[in-house]
Amino acid sequence: MKDEDLKFEIIPSRHGPSLGASVGVRVIYSSMNIAAESTLKKTQYANKVEAIKKLKTLIAKQELE
């Protein structure tokens, strides 16, 4: 997985900016057109790390098929 094949998007908070920052992250792997997201962690960095872990799991599953 190459860094240039990853695209990161910030997921807007459903509560709006008045109740806190948007910390959700979606990561898209353009080579395989697979996406994973995380919104449960308290920081944007933690959500980014979690989304990458989920993405790696999805890629591994797809490669096994």
> What domains can you pick out in the chain, each with its CATH number?
3-64 (3.30.160.20)
23, 40 Cβ separation under 8 angstroms:
no
Q: The pTM is what?
A: 0.81
Distances (CA, A) of 58 to 2, 7, 17: 16, 16, 31
Each residue's pLDDT expressed in tens, for the chain with a length of 65 residues: 788 889 999 987 666 555 556 789 999 999 889 999 998 888 889 999 999 999 999 999 988 87
